[in-house]
Amino acid sequence: MRIVFAGTPDFAVPSLRAAAARGEVVAVYTQPDRPAGRGRELQASPVKLEALKRGIPVLQPETLKSELSRDALRALEPDLMVVVAYGQLLPQKILDIPKYGCWNVHASLLPRWRGAAPIQRAIEAGDRETGVCLMQMEKGLDTGPVLLSQKLAIGENETGGELHDRLSELGAQTLADGLGLLRAGIRPVAKPQPETGATYAHKLEKGEAKLDWTQSAQRLADKVRAFQPWPVAEAEVAGERLRIHAAVALPLAHQAAPGTLLVAGRDGIDIACGEGALRIRTLQREGGKAITAADYLNARRDLRAGA
């Protein structure tokens, strides 16, 4: 088969490897190089770096809506286009070019968590299960019929970064299964998504990182996990702005106002929430690095003494 792959971030790299395992990827589409880092130097995407390492031609159009973009794709004579976190919506005229259309690897059990941030939104919502879907793409956002899917349990303390890595590998495995069927002359059966249960996973925003102590401790603990490693939860703790890297919810009954420091010790810093308490275990001060609560209290003995 002649496969064209479209993807950009780290999440898509294992899927590119799976698609390229038999040397069938004739071209890779990825987002244009963007400024990054302190020097704001142009940086290639992880997918571009992987493609160049494999000697696969790379295309980086700003848009796929032009006639020029459509002509370039037609010239590749693709049997299939595989799309994984590409970062652009594909117009119908692009979807119609490959012989078998376009497949998308999506990190949720559709129709739950359509959209840009399904991994983090699943953790933030307290979901206990997620997975990946191999979907036949159509014009709507993540609305196409599902070809294959695999479920995955979310660990009790699993972070967004950890779940991202596991789903990235599971997505590649699911894609490999689908490609194996297609190579054998078997087209996976496209099953329409259920009419009910659709939710939308909005893109993560930096402003969401601030914790609201009036919410329940469990809700805040789920946010801390979801927002690790980015944007990282933030909160006001004992008069200081801190980034919260790890925390757990305590089913603790109390009469304190939300945001009150309850206990500070080696096991963590317990903050009163609207329901229960949040025990902060790993945190980061302004301009510092992530440290344990015990190390933080060594510098804030006033908190330990007052606990």
pLDDT at residue 307 in the model: 43
Q: Which two tokens stand for residue 120?
A: 């983090």
Degrees, nearest 5: CA angle 85-221-167: 25
CA nearest neighbour of 69 among 48, 43, 91, 46: 91
Give the C-alpha separation, 42 to 63, whole Å. Answer: 19
Q: Which residues contact 158 (CB under 8 A, 6 or more apart)?
A: 123, 225
Q: How many residues does the chain have?
A: 307
Q: CATH number of the domain at 3-201, out of 3.40.190.10, 3.40.50.170, 3.40.630.30, 3.40.640.10?
A: 3.40.50.170
pLDDT at residue 36 in the model: 84
Give the C-alpha separation, 101 to 139, whole Å. Answer: 12
Q: In the chain, where does the domain assigned CATH 3.40.50.170 lie? A: 3-201
Is 15 labelled a binding residue?
no
Q: In the chain, where does the domain assigned CATH 3.10.25.10 lie? A: 206-306
Q: Are 8 and 45 in contact (CB under 8 A)?
A: yes
User: DSSP H helical segments within the chain, as ranges?
Assistant: 13-19, 46-53, 67-75, 92-95, 118-124, 160-183, 217-226, 293-299, 301-306
Give the C-alpha separation, 107 to 133, whole Å. Answer: 7
Q: CATH number of the domain at 206-306, out of 3.30.1650.10, 3.10.25.10, 3.90.550.10, 3.90.226.10?
A: 3.10.25.10
Is 111 labelled a binding residue?
yes
pLDDT at residue 38 in the model: 79
Place of tokens 């790299």: 13
Q: What is the mean pLDDT of each run of 10 residues along the chain (307 residues)?
A: 98 98 96 88 96 98 94 98 96 97 98 97 98 96 97 97 98 98 96 96 95 98 98 95 98 96 94 98 96 94 64
Give the C-alpha separation, 90 to 64, whole Å. Answer: 7
pLDDT at residue 305 in the model: 47
Stated pTM of the model: 0.95
